[in-house]
């Protein structure tokens, strides 16, 4: 049956209620069997596979964000807010040993990333660990404003030539 037909017959709400009751019964059964944690782990594994497929898993690990992102609630929030694209932007940041080398394919600096509305949304949702990780990353790299502007100007000049 299509959603329109169900809606016109007034059955859509009933269908949703039945699904909710079924999922509640399933949750109770899983909890009583001690399988709820296993189910969460399976969901987490599925999401981690997705992150690996997108090439974000190594990036998250290198930025020290993987522990923070292990929370299923945070992962769901990131997905629902479309923040996986923001994490792709973080992937553009490459750090090489001995000297700090900034490669930004879109000219996006850490300063701009911090000021994005999405990061404000993270702050408003109480997800400060992610922001703290970004600040720690900036501190650990000891990137000054001058280095950021120099990196961007080098990138812009190399992309124009």
Per-residue pLDDT of the chain (161 residues), as tens digits, is: 566 665 666 666 656 666 666 666 666 665 565 555 555 555 666 666 666 666 666 666 655 555 555 555 555 666 666 665 556 555 544 443 333 444 433 344 444 544 555 555 655 666 556 556 656 555 555 555 555 666 666 666 665 55
Q: Tokens 């782990």 appear where?
A: 41
pTM, two decimal places: 0.21
Q: Tokens 């124009």 appear where?
A: 160
Helix residue ranges, H only, 63-144: 66-69, 72-80, 84-91, 110-115, 117-124, 128-141
Q: Are 155 and 103 in contact (CB under 8 A)?
A: yes
**Contacts for 43-49: CB closer than 8 Å, 24+ residues apart:** 43/72, 44/70, 44/72, 44/75, 47/72, 47/75, 47/79
Question: In terms of Cα–Cα distance, which of 14, 22, 21, 89 is closest to 55?
Answer: 89
Element (H, E) at 12: helix 12-32
**Contacts for 88-96: CB closer than 8 Å, 24+ residues apart:** 88/54, 88/56, 89/113, 90/59, 90/63, 91/55, 91/56, 91/59, 95/62, 95/141
User: Considering Cα of 128, then 132, then 114, then 48, what sign does the dihedral take?
Assistant: negative
How many whole angstroms from its chain centre is CA 23?
26
């Amino acid at each position: 049956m299509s959603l329109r037909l169900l809606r016109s017959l007034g059955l859509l709400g009933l269908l949703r209620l039945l699904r909710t009751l079924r999922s509640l019964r399933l949750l109770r059964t899983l909890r009583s069997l001690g399988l709820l944690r296993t189910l969460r782990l399976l969901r987490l594994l599925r999401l981690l596979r997705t992150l690996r497929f997108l090439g974000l898993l190594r990036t998250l690990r290198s930025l020290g964000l993987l522990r923070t992102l292990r929370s299923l609630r945070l992962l769901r929030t990131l997905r629902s807010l479309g923040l996986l694209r923001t994490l792709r932007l973080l992937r553009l940041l490459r750090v090489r040993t001995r000297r700090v080398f900034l490669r930004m394919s879109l000219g996006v600096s850490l300063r701009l990333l911090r000021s994005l509305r999405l990061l404000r949304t993270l702050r408003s949702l109480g997800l400060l660990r992610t922001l703290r990780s970004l600040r720690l990353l900036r501190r650990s790299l000891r990137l000054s404003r001058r280095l950021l502007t120099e990196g961007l100007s080098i990138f812009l000049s190399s992309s124009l030539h």
